[in-house]
């Protein structure tokens, strides 16, 4: 009797939890859909940037949150795909399908190269090796002036458009860009979620928690990690392909390791392992950068302080941190 | 049961730097047999496990399993052939549920790397995992995170993870460490009930358990095999007494 | 011939800087398992302090102890709070904390010392060139080689031959064992972190003469030091020295042969080293199971 009651309670609790989650997602979607009606052109472009960078951070969460692999070279995948898309756009025009396709392929190819180099290393060695590989890519882009524009980057891209069989949609307006970014972000979130819940994603969690046990069960650790890198590279690449069209510009800073570090910071502020937290982290960090830099020259100081305070006060991310503060638990 | 041994270890030796950890160890194990492996700390028991499961390569000697030379095979290949091990330290996945723990093991050979969806793989694994839990008497724990279980239950889950793949040979590295006598016996009973056909190599400090469940007992000391015989013979064996049982017979009884 | 001799000396002087910077980072990493990304800030702080000191008219040779002390004091304060709370936390959290701190320090130094490139006014005895087989070579670089070699030897002596070094080495192997001997490991850690930061500052002071000081130098040096430490292998003096030499020579000679792609080539060499030896050039064997 009591057992069934308990089971029933548990089932009810689970279903309210599921309901609440569905309500959350639905609420966010409605909110995202309302933005174009309320925001200015500038704000829409900024929102699109948040969604695009957030998508890249989400792909980083696959590695950090689920694989326990802290990469300091993630911006390379994102920025590399952005450069590939920008160069292709100047040559063949900026068709959305082509851009995203090129972005995904570039992201995966660069993830594959990184993977081959870093596959056998873990922990600190992984961190440093991803950093080195990322900086190699950065150096190449920085010095390959004829193609990448070197330190100046690339400007003057054609307008983004989507060729459908019967018509061509112009996506160069702020509103269209925002909607494109929102669709991309949602698709990326769905793909990442499905990866995490697929056998490969569960195996990735297994390698994070007990690597030795996983090899004793016959899993090929390197193969699992490579798959995670490829999935992550595909998502980061898709996001990177849109990035040049936000400001009609792409520069080498988008591939630098400091941007990778920034992504890690965004991820931690938003909450590691939550996937959706990536967007919250991106919004907070980019928001701070943009708004504080218009008030003071010392904005980097403020940004640094916020990183440090986050780690000190809410190391599990702002959603979790605010939640536990409101419940009066203080420290997690 | 064929008379061909399931596992044959021939003159295996390994050294780390100048330190000989194993020298010329030979051992055969028949299908379905339960072999106890005892010896003082540092005798080389875990090293022998590492060599049989492919975590280490011996400097000389050979390992033959099921008629095939596997001395240089990778761990994953050996698992596919049916050699699985547990670890001295508990190696459960603490944040995952009991079902997921078993699921990881069950998918290792089949569909474990599926990218998208893979829901058929997940369901198949879950059905089998539930079956295992039912037979192990832990069905009501299925949805609990392993970290929330008692230590004794965690040790059982630890062994179940390895048993889930239905290995031909299971190497158990001190599965009863830290358990009470009753818990230890329960664990061994669960193993025998779930996999009566599986051959076991059991490392344990609790000699009661070793002598009561093993068909034969091998004694390692300082990297050498000094005896391998029936429990009764080992009790009487002088070398074994000196190396391990030496201090007093109360340890044996 | 003489051209290559000069390049070898160039590489040696740069390797010395890399080694000194790397040693500070390495000892903190292996002793405390703590990733300290503020090490580049120590370097830059030391450089600025030395430049300021050399311009102030005080005895020039005191610039180096001054840089050491300044960086060590900052390190001491940081160790008390917040480093100490993070020794047992994950690398991810350590990276975040110290990266945030390094961003703060970078901005503070930009505020205090300006955003322009600052170069030291070297004393007469260290400026100028000597002729080596008819090729001019800056005296200052010879000074770095000499100073660095002496300092490295002294450090090696302290770590390898004195009771203090033995205690630190014992802490690297097993912290709790040292505690059972009745030694206060907390105090040992404080001293080690302060000295490591001081070494970073001292390297910066030495390096200012050839690299100058500017915003961004902290990051560049941090990356190089991280690479040196990791490629060398954690917790080995010998490994750090070897990999500093490797990186110094790689950077110098690729600049001679393929100036455009020199960083790519040098980084690729270091990455290759890590692929071949994932635990570093000199690795400690660790039991896995």
Q: Among A58, A60, A84, which Cα is nearest to A72's?
A: A60
Specify the DSSP element, H or E, that contains B27. strand B19-29
Distance CA C186, CA C171 (A): 11
Instruction: Note the pLDDT of residue B244.
Output: 65
Is C239 a domain residue?
A: no
Q: What is the DSSP letter of B242?
A: I
- 8 A C-beta contact, residue B110 and residue B101: no
With beta carbons under 8 A apart, name residues in chain B contacting C289: 46, 49-50, 55, 87-88
If phi over 0 gives left and psi between -120 and 50 gives alpha, with beta otherwise, what is residue B118?
A: left
Q: Which residues of C159-181 are buried (b: 16+ CB within 10 A; e: fewer)?
A: beeeeebeebbbbbeebeebeee
DSSP annotation of C213 reads B
CB-hemisphere CA count at 13 Å for C258? 9
Residue A236 lies in a domain: yes
Chain C contact for A113 (CB, 8 A cutoff): no
Nearest CA in chain A to B75: A218
Report chain A residues whose CB lies below 8 A from the CB of B122: 198-199
- CB within 8 A of A198, min separation 6: which ones? B114, B115, B116, B117, B118, B122
Q: Distance between CA atoms of A247 and B78, rounded to whole angstroms?
A: 55
Residue in C34, C104, C223, C246 to test binding to A, most A beta-carbons within 10 Å: C104
Residue A10, in any domain of the structure = no
The C-alpha atoms of residue B61 and residue B24 are separated, in whole angstroms, by: 7
- Least confident window among C30-34, C52-56, C203-207: C30-34
Q: How far is A218 from chain B (nearest CA, A)?
A: 4
- Judge whether C194 lies within some domain: yes
Is residue A235 in some structural domain?
yes
Mean pLDDT, residues A232-246: 96
Q: Are the CB atoms for C149 and C245 separated by under 8 Å?
A: no
Terminal alpha carbon distance of chain B: 32
Per-residue burial over B140-162, b = 16 or more CB atoms within 10 Å of its CB, e = otherwise? ebbeebbeebeebbbbbbbbbbb
Other residues' Cβ atoms within 10 Å of the Cβ of residue A6:
10
- From the centroid of its chain, how far is CA B78? 14
Of C106, C230, C279, the CB nearest to A128: C230
Q: Which residues of A touch C107 (CB under 8 A)?
A: 298, 300-301, 304
Q: How many C-alpha atoms does B131 have within 13 Å on its Cβ side?
A: 12
**Interface predicted TM-score (ipTM) of this complex, two decimals:** 0.85
Contacts of A212 in chain B (CB under 8 A): 87, 91
- Which residue from A198, A203, A216 is facing B75, i.e. has the nearest CB? A216
- State whether A315 and C93 contact (CB < 8 Å): yes
Closest residue of B to C285, CA-based? B16
Residue A70 to residue C264, Cβ atoms within 8 A: no
Q: What sign does the CA torsion over A250, A256, A261, A264 have?
A: positive
CB spacing of A136 vs C271 below 8 angstroms: yes
Nearest Cβ partner for A220 among B76, B107, B122: B76
Q: How far is B82 from chain C (nearest CA, A)?
A: 20
A224 contacts on B by Cβ (under 8 Å): 113
Look at strands B216-221 and B224-229 and give their pairing: antiparallel
The answer, yes or no, to whether residue A2 has pLDDT greater than 50, is no
* pLDDT exceeds cutoff 80 at A237: yes
CB-CB neighbors (< 8 A) of A265 in chain C: 96, 99-100
Residue A132 maps to a domain: yes
Residue A48 lies in a domain: yes
Query: Minimal CA–CA distance to A157: which of A86, A80, A254, A52?
Result: A86
**B22 has which bridge partners?**
B14
Split into its structural domains, chain A has a count of 1
Q: Which of A198, A205, A227 lies at the smallest CB-CB distance from B117?
A: A198
CA C138 to mean position of chain CA atoms: 22
**Could you give the CA distance from residue A319 to residue A328 in angstroms, rounded to a whole number?**
14
Residue C109 contacts residue C44 (beta carbons within 8 Å): yes
Task: Please report whether residue A117 resides in a domain.
Answer: yes
Rounded Cα–Cα distance for residues A31 and A103 (Å): 28
Distance from CA of C235 to the nearest CA of A (A): 13
DSSP summary character for residue A158:
P
- The pLDDT, as a whole number, for residue B249 is 43
Q: What is residue B19's three-state secondary structure?
A: strand
**Beta carbons of C74 and C218 less than 8 angstroms apart:** no
Higher local confidence (pLDDT), B118 or C128: C128
Question: Hey, which residues does A95 pair with through a beta bridge?
Answer: A161
Confidence of residue A326 (pLDDT cuts 50, 70, 90): low
Range of the domain at A43: 21-254
Contact between C289 and B87 using a beta-carbon 8 Å cutoff: yes
What would the two tokens of residue C283 be? 């690795």
Q: Tens digits of per-residue pLDDT, B192-244?
A: 888 888 999 999 888 888 888 889 999 988 888 888 888 888 888 877 777 66
The DSSP secondary structure of B108-149, one letter per residue, reads TTTTTT--S--HHHHHHHHHHHHHHHHHTT-GGGTTSBGGGS
- Mean of per-residue pLDDT scores for chain A: 87
Contacting B with CB below 8 Å, chain C residues are 285, 288-289
Q: Measure B122 CA to nearest chain A CA, in Å.
A: 7
Distance of alpha carbon B181 from alpha carbon B205, whole angstroms = 12
DSSP secondary structure letters along A99-122: HHHHHHHHHHHHHHHHHHHHTT--
Task: Give the pLDDT band of residue C237 (cuts 50, 70, 90).
Answer: confident
Q: Is A309 part of any domain?
A: no
Residue B228, CB-side half-sphere exposure with 13 Å CA sphere: 14
Check residue C102 and give its pLDDT.
95
Q: Is residue C148 part of a domain?
A: yes
Nearest to A163 by CA among A221, A113, A100, A108: A100
**Reported confidence tier of residue C99, pLDDT bands at 50, 70, 90:** very high
Helices (H) then strands (E): counts for chain A: 16, 4
pLDDT at C200 over 90: yes
Judge whether B69 and B57 are in contact, CB under 8 Å: no
Separation CA A115–CA A312 (nearest Å): 32
What domains does chain B contain, in order, with CATH numbers?
Answer: 7-96+168-251 (3.40.50.300)
Longest dimension (CA), chain A: 76
**For position C1, what pLDDT does the model report?**
72
**Mean pLDDT confidence for A195-216:** 91
What pLDDT does residue A328 have?
58
CB–CB of B91 and A216 under 8 A?
Answer: yes
- Could you tell me whether strands B169-173 and A249-250 are parallel, antiparallel, or unpaired per DSSP bridges? unpaired
Tokens of residue A259, six digits = 């941007």
Neighbours of A302 (CB within 10 A): 18
Task: Map residue A269 onto helix, strand or coil.
Answer: helix
Residue C96 contacts A, CB cutoff 8 Å: yes
**Cβ–Cβ gap A125/C279 under 8 Å:** yes
Q: Is residue C253 part of a domain?
A: no
Instruction: For residue A211, count other CB atoms closer than 10 A to its CB.
Output: 18
Highest-confidence range of A17-31, A65-79, B204-218, by mean pLDDT? A65-79
Give the model confidence (pLDDT) of C1-50 as tens digits. Answer: 788 888 999 999 999 999 999 999 998 888 888 999 999 999 999 999 99
Q: Is the pLDDT of residue B248 over 60?
A: no
Residue C178 domain flag: yes
Is C289 within 8 Å of B16 when comparing Cβ atoms?
A: no
Please give the structure tokens belonging to residue B102: 């078993």
User: Which one has a higher pLDDT value, A95 or B240?
Assistant: A95
**CA angle, A20 then A26 then A30, to 5°:** 140
B249 or A44, which is more confident: A44
**Six-digit token string for B242:** 């000196």
Chain B interface with C: residues with Cβ < 8 Å: 16-17, 46, 49-50, 55, 87-88
Domains in chain C, number: 1
> Distances in Å between the alpha carbon of C165 and those of B97, B122, C170?
47, 55, 8
Residue A332, pLDDT > 60, answer no
Closest of C141, C151, C239, C143 to residue C198, by C-alpha: C151
pLDDT exceeds 80 at position A198: yes
Residue C272 belongs to some domain of the structure: no
Phi, psi of B23 (to 5 degrees): -130, 120
C-alpha distances in angstroms, A189 versus A25, A45, A50, A58, C56?
11, 20, 14, 7, 58
Radius of gyration of chain C (CA): 19
Q: What is the pLDDT of residue A1?
A: 40
Determine, yes or no, domain membership for A202: yes
Query: Between the CA atoms of C246, C248, C254 and C260, what dihedral angle is there, to the nearest 10 degrees?
Result: 130
Nearest CB to C227 within list A121, A128, A303: A128
Q: How confident is the model at residue A225 (pLDDT cuts 50, 70, 90)?
A: very high
For B49, name the nearest residue in chain C, comparing CA atoms only.
C289
Query: Which is nearest to B187 in space by CA: B153, B149, B141?
Result: B153
Token digits of residue B116: 């998208």
Chain A residues within 8 A of C280 when measuring between CB atoms: 125
In a domain, C234, yes or no: no
CA nearest to A127, candidates C197, C234, C23: C234
Mean pLDDT of chain C: 89
Q: Among positive and negative, which fits the CA dihedral A291, A292, A296, A299?
A: negative
Q: Which domain holds residue C55?
A: 2-217
Whether B208 contacts B239, CB under 8 Å: no
Residue C130 in domain? yes
Kindly state the average pLDDT of the residues A52-67.
Answer: 96
Helix (H) / strand (E) containing A313: helix A299-313
CA nearest neighbour of A100 among A169, A201, A187, A192: A187
What residues in A contact B106, CB-CB < 8 Å? Answer: none
A98: confidence class by pLDDT, cuts 50, 70, 90 = very high
Res B253: pLDDT? 39
Confidence of residue A37 (pLDDT cuts 50, 70, 90): confident
- Nearest CA-CA partner of A151 in A163, A135, A139: A139
Residues forming a β-bridge with B8 = B28, B64
Q: Do the beta carbons of residue B77 and residue A176 sit within 8 Å? A: no
**B118–A199 CB contact, under 8 Å:** yes
Q: Which helix (H) or strand (E) holds B65?
A: strand B60-65
Report whether C119 contacts C54 (CB < 8 A): no
């Amino acid at each position: 009797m009591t057992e069934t009651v308990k089971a029933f309670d548990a089932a009810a609790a689970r279903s309210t939890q599921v309901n609440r989650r569905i309500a959350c997602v639905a609420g966010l979607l409605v909110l995202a859909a309302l933005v174009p009606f309320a925001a200015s052109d500038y704000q829409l472009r900024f929102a699109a940037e948040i969604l695009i960078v957030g998508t890249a951070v989400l792909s980083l969460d696959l590695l950090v949150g689920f694989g326990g692999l802290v990469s300091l070279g993630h911006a390379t995948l994102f920025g590399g795909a952005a450069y590939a898309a920008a160069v292709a756009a100047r040559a063949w025009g900026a068709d959305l399908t082509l851009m995203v396709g090129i972005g995904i392929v570039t992201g995966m190819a660069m993830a594959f190269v990184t993977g081959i180099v870093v596959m056998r290393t873990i922990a600190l060695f992984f961190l440093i090796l991803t950093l080195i590989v990322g900086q190699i890519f950065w150096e190449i882009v920085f010095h390959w002036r004829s193609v990448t524009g070197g330190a100046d980057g690339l400007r003057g891209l054609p307008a983004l458009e989507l060729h459908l069989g019967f018509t061509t949609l112009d996506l160069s307006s702020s509103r269209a860009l925002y909607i494109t970014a929102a669709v991309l972000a949602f698709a990326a979130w769905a793909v990442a979620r499905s990866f995490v819940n697929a056998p490969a994603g569960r195996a990735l969690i297994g390698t994070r928690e007990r690597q030795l046990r996983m090899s004793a069960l016959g899993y090929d650790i390197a193969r699992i990690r490579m798959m995670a890198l490829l999935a992550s590279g595909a998502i980061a690449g898709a996001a990177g392909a849109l990035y040049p069209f936000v400001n009609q510009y792409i520069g080498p800073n988008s591939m630098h390791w400091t941007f990778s570090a920034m992504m890690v910071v965004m991820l931690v502020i938003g909450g590691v392992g939550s996937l959706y937290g990536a967007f919250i982290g991106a919004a907070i960090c980019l928001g701070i950068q943009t708004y504080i830099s218009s008030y003071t020259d010392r904005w980097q100081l403020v940004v640094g302080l916020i990183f440090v305070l986050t780690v000190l006060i809410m190391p599990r991310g702002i959603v979790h941190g605010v939640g536990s503060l409101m419940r009066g638990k203080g420290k997690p | 049961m064929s008379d061909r041994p399931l596992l044959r270890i021939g003159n295996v030796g390994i050294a780390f730097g100048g330190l000989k950890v194993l020298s010329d160890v030979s051992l055969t194990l028949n299908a379905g047999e339960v072999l106890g492996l005892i010896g003082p700390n540092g005798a080389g028991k875990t090293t022998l496990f590492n060599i049989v499961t492919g975590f280490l390569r011996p400097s000389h000697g050979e390992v033959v399993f099921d008629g095939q030379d596997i001395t240089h095979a990778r761990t994953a290949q050996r698992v596919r052939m049916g050699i699985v091990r547990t670890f001295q330290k508990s190696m459960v996945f603490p944040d995952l549920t009991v079902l997921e723990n078993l699921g990881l093991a069950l998918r290792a050979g089949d569909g474990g790397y599926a990218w998208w969806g893979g829901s058929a793989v997940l369901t198949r694994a879950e059905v089998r995992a539930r079956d295992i839990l039912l037979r192990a008497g832990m069905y009501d724990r299925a949805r609990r995170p392993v970290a929330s279980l008692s230590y004794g239950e965690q040790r059982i889950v630890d062994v179940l993870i390895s048993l889930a793949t239905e290995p031909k040979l299971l190497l158990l590295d001190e599965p009863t460490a830290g358990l009470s006598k009753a818990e230890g016996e329960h664990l061994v009973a669960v193993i025998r009930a779930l996999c009566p056909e599986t051959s076991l190599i059991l490392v344990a400090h609790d000699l009661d358990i070793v002598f009561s469940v093993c068909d034969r007992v091998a004694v390692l000391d300082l990297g050498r095999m000094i005896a391998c015989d029936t429990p009764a013979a080992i009790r009487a064996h002088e070398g074994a007494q000196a190396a391990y049982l030496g201090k007093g017979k109360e340890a044996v009884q | 011939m003489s051209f290559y001799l000069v390049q070898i000396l160039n590489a040696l002087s740069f390797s010395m800087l890399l080694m000194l910077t790397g040693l500070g980072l390495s000892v903190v990493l292996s002793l405390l398992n703590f990733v300290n990304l503020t090490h580049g800030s120590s370097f830059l702080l030391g450089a600025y302090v030395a430049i300021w000191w050399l311009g102030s008219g005080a005895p020039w040779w005191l610039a180096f102890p001054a840089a050491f002390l300044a960086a060590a004091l900052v390190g001491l304060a940081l160790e008390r709070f917040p480093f100490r709370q993070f020794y047992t936390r994950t690398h991810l959290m350590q990276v975040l904390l110290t990266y945030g701190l390094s961003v703060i320090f970078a901005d503070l130094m930009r505020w205090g010392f300006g955003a322009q490139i600052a170069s030291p006014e070297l004393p007469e005895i260290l400026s100028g060139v000597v002729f080596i087989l008819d090729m001019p070579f800056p005296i200052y670089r010879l000074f770095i080689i000499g100073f660095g070699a002496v300092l490295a030897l002294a450090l090696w002596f302290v770590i390898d031959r004195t009771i203090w070094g033995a205690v630190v080495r014992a802490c690297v192997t097993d912290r709790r064992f040292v505690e059972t001997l009745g030694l206060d490991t907390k105090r040992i850690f404080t001293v080690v972190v302060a000295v490591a930061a001081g070494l970073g500052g001292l390297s910066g002071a030495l390096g200012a003469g050839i690299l100058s000081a500017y915003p961004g130098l902290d990051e560049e040096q941090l990356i190089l030091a991280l690479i040196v430490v990791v490629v060398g292998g954690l917790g080995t003096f010998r490994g750090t020295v070897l990999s500093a030499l490797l990186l110094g020579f790689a950077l110098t000679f690729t600049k001679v042969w393929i100036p455009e792609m020199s960083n790519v080539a040098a980084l690729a060499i270091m990455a290759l080293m890590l692929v071949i030896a994932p635990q570093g050039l000199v690795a400690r064997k660790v039991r896995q199971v």
